[in-house]
Amino acid sequence: MASGQEHLVYRLTTSLYGLKQAPRHWYKKSLYDFIQSVGFSKSDKDHCLSTKPAQDGSPIFLIIYVDDMLLSGRHAGELAELI
């Protein structure tokens, strides 16, 4: 480090793999944008839960926790289309 520049720090504009905040950044910037583009909306009660109405009005549930995902609904055809 150069003398007189000890107070300077680098600010990251993107996440780096392996940092504590990298998964959170990936979720907010990549995964959540995709989930919204497919028609899901985030639950107010639980941030891991997203819902989307199916064609008949019944809900489709998408639950994401760390690196696991659960997709549930009544119609196998609509679930297969999402997958």
Delimit the domains of the chain by residue range: 40-83
> Residue 33 has what pLDDT?
82
CA-CA distance, 29 to 14, in Å (whole number)?
Answer: 10
pLDDT 10s digits, 42-76: 888 888 899 999 888 889 999 988 778 899 999 88
Query: Residue 49: beta bridge partners?
Result: 63
pLDDT at 17 over 90: no
Instruction: State both tokens at 64.
Output: 């994401």
Instruction: State both tokens at 47.
Output: 């941030």
* Alpha helices in 1-83, H assignment, sequence order: 22-26, 32-38, 76-82
Instruction: State both tokens at 76.
Output: 């196998």
* 34/18: higher pLDDT: 34
CA-CA distance, 44 to 30, in Å (whole number)?
Answer: 20
